[in-house]
Amino acid sequence: MADTSFLDWPFLEDHHRVLAKDLRVWAAETIPPICDAPGAHANADDTCKKLVKALGAGGWLRYCVPAEYGGALENLDVRSLAIIRETLAYYSGLADFAFAMQGLGSGAISTYGNDAQKRAYLPYVARGEKIAAFALTEVDAGSDVAAMSTRLEKQGDDYIINGEKTFISNGGIADFYTLFGRTGEGSKGVSAIIVDANAKGCSVAERIQVMAPHPLGRIVFKDCKVSADMMLGGEGAGFRAALGTLDIFRTTVGAASLGFARRALDEAMTRAKARKMFGATLADLPLAQAQLAEMALDIDASALLIYRSAWTKDVKQGRVTREAAMAKLYATDHAQTVIDKAVQLFGGLGVTVGSKVEELYRDNRALRIYEGASDVQKIVIARQILQQ
């Protein structure tokens, strides 16, 4: 498997190293039979459900929730989340997706929910018994969260929800949505509420097909009534809850790309050592060696940014808007470069549907868009450094 020397970096503690080693063994034994089975990617819904159950049974989803509610650690630990996503992504983009959406979909409950809300959802997330979703994006409100138009209107002891959310991961298979909508004007008028998927007036209007198949949908809310008890942090706390959740999980998007990049490098090295050409192997040719060297450089640079950001969040306990944006931007963009080099080294086989490097090329592309597109991350970084 990929280079593990990063586990010795001072960013990590002994329990992170144990986690990484144990997960590698589990993942190698458990993920391929699920994700490489005939039709697994064609039927992404069933595959993701199986993966959530397997991740729950293996105890890995416990890292998505605090210990008091069935979690593995006292609080959400970004370094652990990054290690898990990197490892799962190495084996399967769907496995990473299944894990990440459990954490992202329940993250606002972990950080902004009250005790009753946490007890009603988080233990089930940790055991893989309920599938979570993060319902933030709208057709005209992606990176610009404050532009959302979905409305939450208070009526007695309930909120009536009207609006649409799109590109919602786990849309169609989720048991509940952490929904962000408008109760007032501007960013201070954004609120967050938990909506059970079977609530009357909540429906999946469309399943969206993308280049790397995973459950994705457009969700419509029409006069959907939800108890006010499901509001997270009170009215107006949604914008803060959304950004706080992304502050935790944005770094781990980079970690997933890092896992893809490590797999691409391993595949490329195996191919280069075996491919005979011009009386030698591909690995003997200086141009191929230069490509492999650049791939290794991009991977280490990405890893340093990712685990710097994760360490800063875990240890300093502050906002890591700048660090997370840098990690996400660099790792996702440069993973695409690494994977593209792997495809090139494979030649015709690299663009053949079904080859691992072709799969990685598609898997990584979406990560450069969701949870803040690359261009948006540049704006975030610039604003942060201009404030210094």
How large is the average pLDDT for residues 164-192? Answer: 95
86, 164, 323, 371: the catalytic one is 371
239-386: CATH topology is Butyryl-CoA Dehydrogenase, subunit A; domain 3 (1.20.140)
Predicted TM-score (pTM) of this structure:
0.95
Mean pLDDT of the chain: 94
Residue 371 is predicted with a pLDDT of: 83
How large is the average pLDDT for residues 35-57? Answer: 93
pLDDT tens-digit series, residues 125-151: 999 999 999 999 998 877 777 789 999
The whole-angstrom separation of Cα 286 and Cα 269 is 14
How large is the average pLDDT for residues 53-68? Answer: 98
Asked if residue 351 has pLDDT above 80, the reply is yes
Half-sphere exposure of 165 (CA within 13 A, CB side): 29
First to last CA, the chain: 41
Asked if residue 327 has pLDDT above 90, the reply is yes
pLDDT tens-digit series, residues 191-226: 999 999 999 999 999 999 888 888 999 999 999 999
Same fold, 5-131 and 239-386: no
Asked if residue 117 has pLDDT above 80, the reply is yes
* Main-chain phi, psi angles of 12, to 5 degrees: -105, 155
Residue 2 is predicted with a pLDDT of: 65
* Token pair recorded at residue 192: 């967050």
Superfamily of the domain at 133-236? Butyryl-CoA Dehydrogenase, subunit A, domain 2 (2.40.110.10)
CATH code of the region 5-131: 1.10.540.10
Domain ranges of the chain: 5-131, 133-236, 239-386
29 tagged catalytic:
no
pLDDT tens-digit series, residues 246-256: 889 999 999 99
- Say which residue, 37 or 179, is predicted with more confidence: 179
Residue 1 is predicted with a pLDDT of: 53
